Structure 1
């Protein structure tokens, strides 16, 4: 099962003149005012084109017609101004976690700064490697030392792929310990950034090792069961349905939770009762959630036979208590919400974070309106489907400034939330 995957593929690039393609070299290029663009290879961009990502969230391919940059040997030109390439120090690292060898990369800006923050990036449910991807370089371009690593069972790391938050948190804690050793004498504060599923993993990791901060983007303060329910509620609200529909999907979520929490031994009578109610609703066939829609459309016989193999094969902690973990933390915490997140609806998460802030926890909460999971802006069509356009302006800069303790001014359309 894919829980909270942040990656969204770029559209196929439109060909530009071959010379423009061939001149572009992978790297990170920075303007005098701190703006930057990251160029990296991508499997969805035909070679020799590269994927680009600006600080303000614009993304695309260098071989698109009208790409907002041109390339020379060691510079990129944007609006007629040359941006030089940043000479990052990149150090491959291997480290052990629970008798499993994991692989990472430490990315450091030029120069030695003993006060430079160090951030370990805890990625989401995706199986792709973050090493060589744009996000680590986008953080390093803002003056941070960044440690990215392949989680177990992905990339060059050993072990089996899992979504067990406790195990992944152990790995993340070991990643921070390894990053500290590798960058010894060249950093000050050190902590975590977690995107998507990393919102469950990074806070737990911060209870296992010393962390000076935790930053989260578009994660949940809710369990996977609550995530499933909120996704279905979001679906019925988007369809313009009323409280009866919400009550029905709530009962569906409780029924499927019963199966999951009992290892598919119990809960079939409750699910059958919900199926009977759903049969009379023409809209019910389109309900998905994270898993409940698919479970409801399988027979009891199939669920008894292959339910665990189909839905419970990644060691998820279905009733994970995210609030309890955050209550243990006194570490400064940044949480950035996507206002119209369909994959990780924010209602429960926002309420939990505001309660923690009201109780005196050092929590900063920002919301970017009209953004979906991954902090993507989008165009919504009459049928409710969405086409993503760009990462919302201000998101990447907010992360960098907050980690540096230098938050000032505005960040795109971000709203800084406070308890009511």
Structure 2
């Protein structure tokens, strides 16, 4: 999946108007009496002493914003006149070895010791930023779940080389689950994975290599990276109001670039030239991106022969990865949450595959949030077609928490619970 920072860090805007003078907020997670919560965490994009905030209903922004819906006083957070208290999580740093590499993690546990409390390992997307100290893990822990977050190899405090090799990343995730279970021994019940974006490829594979009790996935794909590239381009031409002829042309381009990738850039140049010629007269052709095909089409064959592998194939990605085969091997309960208008990971193939597996008897729950993009973000669309993120859609975070706890009953915002006949 495209190495774009997963969800929160990529979409958060720096808000320019400072709030009225008030005591600086302290990082942490603050809860209301009814279970609502807000996570406050520092991020580089927000100048100190400002913090990122994330509410359970998906509202997010910066505490330095003039219109921020909270205030900080006497070590508490005040929301609409009510004071929310800080949750005293138990946090245990960890180091563990996987495939000859030392990785760094953190176990976050809600207060108290509950042998029935679920435990989830967060398997993150293609981003290179550290999830340790980020809002997502604490948003899960605030719902009564023990959470283990860790830096992928080659990122944060973990050693090794950054990679997008799903097999290797799945081995790391399985080892992370073993580590989390050991650290939380006697204080957890069922244990499994959550994978976001690219983690949707890794988490199910990790579950086939461990004794995971569940897997939850947000805005992931049941398709190969090659299929993702093609579907992104099809989504682009559809968004531009183009017809079936345009879809056929970008499908042809994707087939040519796939041959290049699968042959280590030895074969496929004649097919690529033919696709370029077929698209040459189209005014939209120069704007097509996909995951990589647009960029390849704009390079010369000589450049691709010399630079193609270094630019496009340097992270050990399994281009023709069979995601359906991995799910067929999985018999543990699976939650999959789709973003209805996902441009990064178009859902058409994924939705059909998931519902087909559910119809065949696999224990799969599929939810769809309409009018959301990658990351479960709601958005506005400008005259030029560009989208501006507004918030995480209401209900998404609560759905994840309730399902992992085995108590998903909804409703969850505008979510649709899909069945095999829908």
TM-score class normalised by the smaller sequence: over 0.9
Measure the CA separation in 1 of the matches of 2:208 and 2:345: 24
Alignment correspondent of 1:2: 2
Q: Are 2:41 and 1:40 aligned?
A: yes
Assess, with a 3 A threshold, how the Cα gap between structure 1 residues 17 and 336 changes in structure 2: closer, same or farther.
closer
Cα offsets for 1:84-141 (capped at 9, x unmatched): 0000000000000011000000000000000000000000000000000000000000
**What residue number does 2:321 align with?**
320
Give 3-state SS (helix, strand or coil) of 2:338's partner.
strand
1:345 and 1:16 map into 2 onto residues whose CA distance is: 38
Cα deviation code 1:249-277 (max 9, x no counterpart): 00000000000000000000000000111
Query: What is the rounded CA distance, in whole Å, between the counterparts of 1:255 and 1:4 in structure 2?
Result: 24
Contact 2:234 2:250 in 1 (8 A): yes
Q: CA deviation at 1:419?
A: 1.4
SS at 2:316 equivalent = coil
C-alpha distance in 2, partners of 1:24/1:252? 51
C-alpha displacement of 1:5: 4.2
| Residue range with higher mean Cα deviation, 174-183 or 22-31 | 22-31
> Could you say what the CA RMSD is over the residues aligned between the two structures, in angstroms?
1.0
**Are the structure 2 counterparts of residues 104 and 74 from structure 1 closer, same or farther at C-alpha, using a change threshold of 3 Å?**
same
Structure 1 distance, partners of 2:5, 2:52, is 20
1:90 aligned partner: 91
Does 1:221 pair with 2:222?
yes
Q: Which runs of 4+ in 1 moved over 4 A?
A: none
Q: Which residue of 1 aligns with 2:14?
A: 12
> Shift of the alpha carbon at 1:10?
1.8
State the Cα distance separating 1:382 from its structure 2 match: 2.2
Aligned position for 2:344:
343
Structure 2: distance between partners of 1:204 and 1:100: 19
Residue aligning to 1:385: 386
SS at match of 2:284: helix
Deviations 1:30-58 (A, max 9, x none): 01111000000011111101110000000
Aligned length: 419
In the TM superposition, what are the counterparts of 1:20-419 in structure 2 within 5 Å? 20=22, 22-419=23-420
**C-alpha distance after superposition, 1:147-205 (max 9, x if no partner):** 00000000000000000000000000000000000000000000000000000000000
> Within 2, Cα distance between the matches of 1:417 and 1:387?
27
1:193-238: CA deviations, max 9, x gaps? Answer: 0000000000000011100000000000000000000000000000
Q: CA deviation at 1:381?
A: 1.4
Secondary structure of 1:104's aligned partner: strand
Give me the whole-angstrom Cα distance separating, in 1, the residues matched to 2:3 and 2:223: 13
- C-alpha distance in 2, partners of 1:360/1:74? 51
Structure 1 position 15, deviation (Å): 3.6
Q: 2: distance between equivalents of 1:19 and 1:141? A: 28
Paired with 1:180 and 1:369, the residues of 2 have a C-alpha distance of 36
Verify the 8 A CA contact 1:116 1:186 in the aligned structure 2: yes
Deviations along 1:293-343, one digit per CA (max 9) or x if unpaired, are: 000000000000111001000100000000000000000000000000000
Distance 1:205 1:105 in 2: 19
Contact in 2 for aligned 1:3/1:197 (Cα 8 Å):
no
Structure 2 unmatched ranges of 5 or more: none
TM-score (norm 1): 0.98
Contact kept in structure 1, 2:20 and 2:66, CA below 8 Å: no
- Give the distance between the partners of 1:64 and 1:242, measured in 2 at CA: 44
Secondary structure, aligned partner of 1:282: coil
Unaligned stretches of 5+ in structure 1? Answer: none
1:61-106: per-residue Cα shift (whole Å, max 9, x none)? Answer: 0010111001023210101000000000000000000110000000
Give the Cα separation in 1 of the matches to 2:383 and 2:371. 16
- Check conservation: 1:9, 1:44, Cα contact below 8 A: no
- Any conservation in 1 of the 2:19–2:65 contact (CA below 8 Å)? no
**How far, CA to CA, are the matches of 1:327 and 1:233 in structure 2?**
27
Cα distance in 2 between the residues matched to 1:156 and 1:147: 15
